[in-house]
Amino acid sequence: MPDRYAVVGNPVAHSRSPAIHAAFARQTGEDIEYTRLLAPLDGFARTVAEFRDAGGKGVNVTLPFKGEAFRLATTLAARARLAEAANTLRFDPDGVYGDNTDGPGLVRDVTVNLGVALAGRRVLLIGAGGAASGVVPALLGAGVARLVIANRTEDRAAALARRHGAPVAACGFDALGDEPFDVLINATSAGLSGAAPPLPAGAVAPGALAYDMVYGPLAEPFLAAARRAGATRLADGLGMLVEQAAESFLVWRGIRPDTAPVLAGLRAAR
Ligand code: NAP
């Protein structure tokens, strides 16, 4: 019997994580099965408990449950504690271990796969939900010079910025455009409904990278707005998805798969 894992979210049908983990399993020879689990919006803990009781070994957690996953874990990796959000749960005999691999996944995709340095850069992070919370510690760890969090609900951005202190600051969408950024990251779920947060030209520094955490056609509204605002480098979040998955695989299986062939395969299959 393969060890069973799943990605839990709502919605979750769009997730490509099962294909990625199947590729990792083939590459490493690990005997695992990985499926999607749609949890009711008020039934995350119940869905996870049922999967665990049925023999599941761990889950990835996607929107909107990363905060709940953080609270459900009985032990936490330092980066998940800092983020107050978890995207990876491992069911251990003595409890549930929670980790957050979104941050390392994003930083590795930007710096290694895309070759864009983050150290010393001015970064705009749009969104203040689970994904944004998850990547702040890793962006700070990568040495960004300034990190501004902009969110539709400004209070959420302010609360996230307060938790970290300088060089993190917060603003609402109406303040965007007053300050240029070298790297602009969309961590909102607006793309899932075909929308994009506002991105005025004044926010985009010459040569800037615009990065959307969603991938494929869902990233188009933001990336098109970024192109119009002057961004010359554009990337969707497929690389981050593969990199965070590799880091989760390491948490579960103790082995880090080679991401390059898996990412190339997914891009070719589009
Ligand atoms: P979440 O916790 O539900 O947070 C959603 C965020 O999006 C909030 O900041 C929310 O603002 C904002 N938002 C939603 N609709 C909006 C709209 N129409 N205009 C402007 N802002 C809007 O979700 P999450 O877990 O942070 O995930 C966010 C996105 O990142 C998802 O699409 C997810 O698929 C993606 N993601 C990708 C990866 C990857 O590996 N590539 C990893 C993690 C997440 P309010 O606070 O104002 O509601």
Confirm if 37 and 8 have CB atoms less than 8 A apart.
yes
Do 76 and 149 lie in a common domain?
Answer: no
Do 116 and 213 lie in a common domain?
Answer: yes
CATH number of the domain within which 188 lies = 3.40.50.720
Amino acid (1-letter code) at residue 62: T
pLDDT exceeds cutoff 80 at 270: no
Do 47 and 118 lie in a common domain?
Answer: no
Which are the contacts of 95, defined by CB distance < 8 A and separation ≥ 6?
73, 74, 75
Interval 200-204 mean pLDDT: 95
| Binding site membership of 121 for ligand 1 (Cβ less than 6 Å) | no
| CA atoms of 38 and 44, how far apart (whole Å) | 9
Q: What is the pLDDT of residue 192?
A: 87
66 is catalytic: yes
**Total number of domains constituting the chain:** 2
Do 224 and 150 lie in a common domain?
Answer: yes
pLDDT exceeds cutoff 80 at 252: yes
34 CA from centroid of ligand 1 (Å): 24
CA nearest ligand 1 atom 16, residue: 190
Q: What are phi and psi of 259, to 5 degrees?
A: -80, -30
Do 68 and 171 lie in a common domain?
Answer: no
| Binding site membership of 128 for ligand 1 (Cβ less than 6 Å) | yes
Q: What is the pLDDT of residue 14?
A: 85
Query: Domain range for residue 170?
Result: 103-236
CA nearest ligand 1 atom 44, residue: 131
| Binding site membership of 219 for ligand 1 (Cβ less than 6 Å) | no
Atom of ligand 1 nearest to the CA of 195: 18
Do 47 and 168 lie in a common domain?
Answer: no
Q: What is the pLDDT of residue 238?
A: 96
pLDDT digits 0-9 by tens, 44-72: 999 999 999 999 999 999 989 999 999 99
Do 10 and 113 lie in a common domain?
Answer: no
| Binding site membership of 195 for ligand 1 (Cβ less than 6 Å) | yes
Do 52 and 107 lie in a common domain?
Answer: no
The answer, yes or no, to whether the previous bond of 206 is cis (omega within 30 of 0) is no
Q: What is the 3-state secondary structure (H, E, C) of the chain?
A: CCEEEEEEECCCCCCCHHHHHHHHHHHHCCCEEEEEEECCCCCHHHHHHHHHHCCCCEEEECCCCHHHHHHHCCEECHHHHHHCCCCEEEEECCEEEEECCHHHHHHHHHHHHCCCCCCCCEEEEECCCHHHHHHHHHHHHCCCCEEEEECCCHHHHHHHHHHHCCCEEEECHHHCCCCCEEEEEECCCHHHHCCCCCCCHHHEEEEEEEEECCCHHHHHHHHHHHHHCCCCEEECCHHHHHHHHHHHHHHHHCCCCCHHHHHHHHHHCC
Do 114 and 231 lie in a common domain?
Answer: yes
Do 88 and 210 lie in a common domain?
Answer: no
CATH number of the domain within which 29 lies = 3.40.50.10860
The answer, yes or no, to whether the previous bond of 257 is cis (omega within 30 of 0) is no
- Taking the CA atoms of residue 173, residue 64, residue 114 and residue 25 in that order, the dihedral angle to the nearest 10 degrees is 180
Dihedral sign (CA 239, 242, 245, 249): negative
pLDDT digits 0-9 by tens, 128-185: 998 999 999 999 999 999 999 999 999 999 999 999 999 999 999 999 998 999 999 9
pLDDT digits 0-9 by tens, 213-250: 999 999 999 999 999 999 999 999 999 999 999 999 99
